[in-house]
Structure 1
Amino acid sequence: MKEIEEKAIHSFYNGMNCAQSVLTAYADHLNFDPGFALSIASGFGGGMGKLQKTCGAVTGSFMALGIYNSQKHFENIEARNATNEMIQKFTVDFKALHGSLDCKALLDCDFKTEEGENRFKNMDLKKNVCSKCISDSIKLVEELIKV
């Protein structure tokens, strides 16, 4: 578990967005192409396209759960149902830890304003909020898939 978390945090501080860092951290464990995952998750950082909707660490986790279940269950409907159950559990647990899945609420700033961008930098929210969301997301996924 610690290895996946460390990979995700390292990636996040070295150019990947939050969704990319979570999803690609599972590439070795779930046996998928990290380059393709990097492309798929490219638009999910900053709350999906920097719109500050669902947190990228969360959406990256949802994608990892989908891959996990697609490998575990032969039928698409079974995989989809298992993924939905895990996403629902993840959502409850993430909200219990952070109060919201919404990037804007988590960060308490608006990326569309200069004030919000400055707040993000000055309060070091990348470290103080985003990194914690990534770490917690990894831990919640690990609990669900029992790595």
Structure 2
Amino acid sequence: MSRSDDAERSFMSGFTCSAAVFSTFSEELGLDAETAKKIACGFGAGVSKTGNMCGAVSGAIMVIGLKYGKSRAGDNEATDTTRALTREFIRKFSARNGAINCTALLGYDLSNPEDYRKAAASGLFITSCKGYVRDAVEILDGILSQPR
């Protein structure tokens, strides 16, 4: 079973898109999956139903930060690496899906309760969002496997 399958299964079992993506990589990066799901929870649904950045994208950016991010003052190379990989991820996700913003991806403003209900009723969270989760993990797998 692939990591994309694991993330999709997590998402379909009720975790946010951000939690599904972030927790799929967390244990191999030294963070238990339960804590990762808690950290990422608020980023789902375009950052807590605000329609902003897709949670699958947020979860992926957290993975990049956990692996490459700056943890010591003065380690500007870590910041540069993290930012470069984040931009690479965003370019690739956008190329596949046309955007990284939930409202643009889904065609509904998730900050509007009526739009949120319509998006849910249309099945977009199942049909589209699980695809964004899979895409985020596949793109991350490619980025993380590159030699550094």
User: Which bracket does the TM-score occupy, shorter chain normalised?
Assistant: 0.7 to 0.9
Q: Is the contact made by 1:120 and 1:126 (CA closer than 8 Å) also made in structure 2?
A: yes
TM, length-normalised to structure 2: 0.87
How many residues align structurally? Answer: 145
In the TM superposition, residue 122 of structure 1 has moved relative to its aligned partner by 3.3
Aligned equivalents of 1:5, 1:32: Cα separation in 2 = 19
Equivalent residue for 1:37?
36
Q: Is the contact made by 1:8 and 1:22 (CA closer than 8 Å) also made in structure 2?
A: yes
Amino acid corresponding to residue 10 of structure 2 in structure 1: S
Matches within 5 A, 1:85-100: 85-100=84-99
2:124 is the counterpart of 1:139: no
Equivalent residue for 1:125?
124
In the TM superposition, residue 4 of structure 1 has moved relative to its aligned partner by 1.5
Q: 1:112/1:67 Cα in 2 relative to 1: closer, same or farther (>3 Å)?
A: closer
Aligned equivalents of 1:44, 1:8: Cα separation in 2 = 15
Q: Is the contact made by 1:55 and 1:102 (CA closer than 8 Å) also made in structure 2?
A: yes
Aligned equivalents of 2:35, 2:123: Cα separation in 1 = 30
Identify unmatched segments of 5+ residues in structure 1. Answer: none
Equivalent residue for 2:108?
109
Aligned equivalents of 1:40, 1:114: Cα separation in 2 = 24
Q: Deviations over 1:84-141 (max 9, x none)?
A: 0001111111111111110011010123445423432332111221011111111111
Q: Is the contact made by 1:47 and 1:55 (CA closer than 8 Å) also made in structure 2?
A: yes
Q: What CA RMSD, in Å, does the superposition of the two structures yield over aligned residues?
A: 2.2
Q: Deviations over 1:24-62 (max 9, x none)?
A: 011233231212211211110011121010000000000
TM, length-normalised to structure 1: 0.88
Mean alpha-carbon deviation: is it higher for 135-144 or for 21-30?
Answer: 21-30
Equivalent residue for 1:18?
17
